[in-house]
Amino acid sequence: MILSIQNVVKTYGNYTAVDHVSFDVQKGSVFGLLGPNGAGKTSLIRMITTITGPDSGAIFLDGEKLNERSPEKIGYMPEERGLYKKMKVGEQLLYLAQLKGLSKAAAQKEIDHWLTKFDIKDWWSKKIEDLSKGMQQKIQFIATIVHKPRLLILDEPFTGLDPINTNLIKDEIRQLNEAGISIIFSTHRMEQVEEMCDHIALINHGKNVLYGEVQSIKNQYKQNLYRVEWQGDLPADFGQHFSITQQENHAVTVKLHDEGESNKMLSHLIQKGVRITHFEEILPTFNEIFIRTVEGERHTVSN
């Protein structure tokens, strides 16, 4: 376990930003930290990155309670990010790496490695303000990982990147993950969550409302919806046996009572001589899960 959040509370004045949140992040995991705006994600991340401390509860990094050495093991790319505009790329990276506890020589070596890898070695003495936004993001990414963190926290890492650079950074994230670095990934982009994360926690109103493995959450939220496509005619009594939620030409979406019913439906169709060309279970997207959970919360709150 790389990170363990245990019953953490954070208040600002009368406002409770994080309300008894607990979850664990396994080593090597890509963990999605989700939630609507103002849910308490940033407050939580700021506590993990030791920017602030919890009022109560505890946070453990790699089995150790957070301490002044912890920042060296964490790489954090905040949503509100930036660099010193007047500083040169090389100086900037050296400075940030040294603040993360690297010696000057080690920092120099790592920076050379990354600049070479991204094929931007000649940027060393360029000023940040002379770089395009996308180029700055690359430097920002290098600054985040240059000290070889054990845990990488990325808050909306792809905003401001074009598709090519997005893929480049995505690949780097995957490679880092394969090399054993655990990643916490905070985003509103649910398709990215499905693409990249294996576990998630959904924070709403400061509380952890949904937490677990991505696949099992999807299963937990599934509504036994199935989609069938065929050639020829559908038996006339099909609608009497099964409840159709959506009908198209040669395709229907059916809601079944349980998982076992899918085979019953298939054999029913086969017996009637329908030639099935396509059959799948429709799992909810994370977008739907997100909206349902957050909206549901709102209902229970307002009721």
Partner 1 sequence: MSKLSLIIKREYLTRVTKKSFIIGTLLAPLGLLVYMLVIVGLTKYESGSEIKVAVLDEGGMVKQIPDDKGVRFIPSGGKNLEQLKAEVSEKKLDGVLQIPPLGSFQKKEHTIFFYSDAKLAPEKSNVIERKIAKKIREYKIDSLGLDPSKLEMLDTEIAIDPEKITGTGEDDSKYTAGVGLAIGGIMAFIMFFMVTMYGAMVMRSVMEEKTNRIVEVMMSSVRPFELMLGKIIGAGAVGLTQVLAWIILSGAVFLIVPFFVGGVDPAQMQAPVAVGDAPQIDPEQMEGEAFRFMTEIGKQNWPLIIFSFIIFFLGGYFIYSSLFAAIGSAMGDDMGEGQSLTLPVMIPIILAFYITAFAGMRNPDSGLMVFASLFPLFSPIVMPFRMAFNPPMWQIILSLVLVVAAAFFFVWLAGRIYRVGILLYGKKVTFKEIGKWMFYRG
Question: DSSP assignment, residue 127?
Answer: B
Q: Which residues contact 76 (CB under 8 A, 6 or more apart)?
A: 45, 49, 144, 152, 153, 155
The residue from 18, 74, 161, 202 that contacts partner 1 (CB under 8 A) is 74
Asked whether position 46 contacts partner 1 by CB under 8 A, the answer is: yes
Burial class (CB in 10 A: 0-12, 13-18, 19+), 272: middle
Pick from 110, 155, 113, 112: which is nearest to 137 by CA?
155
Q: Which is nearer to partner 1, 51 or 244 (CB)?
A: 51
Pick from 219, 157, 261, 207: which is nearest to 17 by CA?
207
Selected range binding partner 1 among 95-103, 105-113, 178-186, 280-288, rule: CB under 8 A:
95-103
Asked whether position 71 contacts partner 1 by CB under 8 A, the answer is: yes
> Smallest distance from the beta carbon of 277 to partner 1, in angstroms?
53
- Separation of alpha carbons 261 and 7, rounded Å: 41
Asked whether position 262 contacts partner 1 by CB under 8 A, the answer is: no
Selected range binding partner 1 among 16-24, 42-50, 159-167, 183-191, rule: CB under 8 A:
42-50
The residue from 23, 31, 76, 185 that contacts partner 1 (CB under 8 A) is 76
Q: Which is nearer to partner 1, 50 or 177 (CB)?
A: 50
Selected range binding partner 1 among 84-92, 107-115, 214-222, 253-261, rule: CB under 8 A:
84-92
List the beta strands (DSSP E) in the chain. 3-12, 15-25, 30-34, 56-61, 64-65, 74-77, 151-155, 182-186, 199-204, 207-213, 225-231, 243-248, 251-255, 275-282
Asked whether position 143 contacts partner 1 by CB under 8 A, the answer is: yes
Asked whether position 31 contacts partner 1 by CB under 8 A, the answer is: no
The contact set with partner 1 (CB under 8 A) reads 12-13, 46, 49-53, 55, 71, 74, 76-78, 80-87, 95-96, 98-100, 140, 143
